[in-house]
Amino acid sequence: MCEIFGLPRMALQSEVEEVTFKGGTIDGQVETTMTTRQVGLAVAVVAALAFGGCAGSQAQEEYDVVIRGGTLLDGTGAPASVGDLAIRGDRVVALGQVNGVGKLTIDATGLMVAPGFVDMHAHSDPWRLRHAGHGPSFAYQGITTEVFGEYGSPGPFGGKMQGGLIEDESIPKEARDRCRTLGGCLDFMESQGSSANFASYVGSGAVRAYVMGYVDRAPTTEELDQMRAVVRQAMHEGAIGVSSGMSYVPNIYMSTDELAALVREAAGFGGIYATHARTMNGTDPNAVREAIDVGRKAGADVHFHHLNSTAGPKAGEFLAIIDSARSGGMNVTGNSYTYTWGITPLSAYIPAWAQEGGRQAMLKRLADPSDRQRIAKGFVSEPPYLANVGWHHVRLGVSDKAVNGKLVSEVAADRRQSPEEVFMDVVLAAKGEGIVIDWNNEEETLRQVLQKPYVAAGTDGSALALDWQDLPPLIHPRHMGTIPRWLGTYVRDEKMRSWEEAVRRLAALPFEILKIPHRGTLRVGNFADVVIFDSKTIDGRATFEQPNHYAVGMRYVLVNGVPVVKDGKYTAALPGRALRGAGYQKSPS
């Protein structure tokens, strides 16, 4: 400790704090109540300041990381400023002009420094379980936190549910055993490490499947009580709310009131309702009204997943419904990715009635001539109506190399069959496994969604590595470039919004929506999730034709103070943590 005239600096400060100055300034006139000793000490302090203090004052503050000379965008939307940032441990401890040294010093001159970005709609959980927490495609986008959960979630599994993580043999057995509950899966993922923080909803589809399986009927009173209990348990295990995927079985079988009953349980813990609404591609605006009604009945905030593909080419009409609800006092928000084509599970295109009972029951119907006739007629006339985009807008992603990557309309022309027959044959041959990449929007209406101040980013994708041998048969560029495309194309090139506002939407807004404190802004005391990027080069390089490209422009990405990208390269560090909701109750160890 530094000493002045033989007295410790802290002792001097304690004595000087008893001295008051007229007008609150040092003007040479001291209150007459001061003692001689206090005056002497005050003079000593002034002298120490004037002559540079003592030998100990030459020692500089030490930090783990010092970022110097960057353009700081703090996440609040306030104007950017050039300055420094210091990190000690997992926290930001100094901002502005930092006088000290860092174990790691980063020259950020000419670069932007911002809070880490949040993916509000991620499907990385199985990939991180398969690959020990890694996911460089998200790190290169500056994603420091991702949020899981739609129709399903990383737990619960079991009960009357079919498939899921616990039956996926590509996932290590220990992970499958731990992921029977949401809390167990969050704990396991945290213990193995992750290159990003993560949070999760509990998927209402998973809850229903756990209790009821895949039947198309209303729950009994007993079954509804069981589902509510499963939601309560998940909230105690750290869920941030309830999610749904209303185009998918078994969510599609659920009524508005059934959903509201489950969401009400989460709302009691401060949880929100996040939904893939009961429509896609702008088909039915009443699906947006239903989701808002669920939130109103349950007393919960409402958050729309992939609002871009939900609203589709009717964004103006759909957004007006949300704006009206917000004007009426409801907290309704959304997320969006930055592409006009999306991803859907292959079997999701099959009419919902034909999926009742699970995958094997569906495959049996697809092999039955009379059922095939009804299925063929129902692609556009029965829920979920996904084929109404047209078969020339549906690209197959399956293991069969003869059709993988082709449009259904192309395969139909090659085989001289109807597209409905082709699609049913492909699903049957693939045993229901696979994806489609399908059109859902126009650039003009996508921009309308991105311009809304309540819309955050959500990739609706997964953290991947290009050298993995088990990649999907067809890769969507949103896995690689959603956020860099937002910044490079829509902010830098098109000047749709300012850099400050873009960073607010990518960093602070998500944590406000999720009600998670101490993250999302560059403030002293907040967790040190920080990105440093070059605004001149930031971009998503992946395209639909050539998707195997990581994003560019991200120089450093720090998660809880630890670099996961350093000098533009993935470090393989795994400092990510589970971020749990307000209802979390840590189980006894």
Give 474-518 pLDDT, tens digit per residue. Answer: 999 999 999 999 999 999 999 999 999 999 999 999 999 999 999
Average pLDDT over residues 516-529: 98
- Residue 342 is predicted with a pLDDT of 97
pLDDT at 16: 30
How far is it, in rounded angstroms, from Cα 377 to Cα 86?
63
Please report the pLDDT score of residue 220 as a whole number: 98
Whether 589 shows a pLDDT value over 90: the answer reads no
Instruction: Quote the CA–CA distance of 85 and 98 in Å, as a whole number.
Output: 7
At 302 the pLDDT is 99
User: Average pLDDT over the chain, rounded to whole?
Assistant: 91
Q: Count the Cβ atoms, other than its own, within 10 Å of residue 99.
A: 10
Report the length, in residues, of the chain: 589
pLDDT of 132 > 70? The answer is: yes
Q: What pLDDT sits at residue 164?
A: 78
What pLDDT does 165 receive?
A: 78
Task: Reply yes or no on whether the pLDDT at 21 is more than 90.
Answer: no
User: Residue 24: pLDDT above 50?
Assistant: no
> Distance (Å, rounded) from C-alpha 476 to C-alpha 460?
10
Lowest model confidence (mean pLDDT) among 49-58, 130-139, 422-431: 49-58
With contact defined as beta carbons under 8 Å apart, do 536 and 482 qualify?
Answer: no
Contacts of 46 (CB under 8 A, 6+ apart): none
Q: Strands (DSSP E) along 462-518, which ranges?
A: none
What does the pLDDT average to over 132-142? 98
Q: What pLDDT digit, counting tens, does each position of 212-245 carry?
A: 999 999 999 999 999 999 999 999 999 999 999 9
| Dihedral sign for Cα atoms in the order 22, 27, 32, 38 | positive
Look up tokens 């401060």; give the residue: 270
Q: What is the mean pLDDT of residues 333-345?
A: 97
Q: What is the pTM of this model?
A: 0.90
Position 15 pLDDT exceeds 60 = no
Tell me the mean pLDDT in the region 13-21: 30
Which distant-in-sequence residues (6+ apart) come within 8 Å of 444 by Cβ?
Answer: none
Q: How many CB atoms lie within 10 A of CB 61?
A: 14
pLDDT at 538 over 60: yes
User: Could you tell me the pLDDT band of residue 32, with boundaries at 50, 70 and 90?
Assistant: very low
Residue that has been written with the tokens 């198309």 in this structure: 216
Q: What is the pLDDT of residues 434-482, one digit of tens each?
A: 999 999 999 999 999 999 999 999 999 999 999 999 999 999 999 999 9
Q: What is the pLDDT of residue 384?
A: 97
The pLDDT score that the predictor gives to residue 588 is 72
The pLDDT value given to residue 59: 67
Mean pLDDT score, 315-332? 98
How, if at all, do strands 3-4 and 7-8 pair? antiparallel
pLDDT at 66: 98
> Which residue intervals of 51-98 are DSSP H helices?
none
Given a cut of 60, is residue 36 above it in pLDDT? no
What is the reported pLDDT for 444?
A: 96
pLDDT tens digit sequence for 261-304: 999 999 999 999 999 999 999 999 999 999 999 999 999 999 99
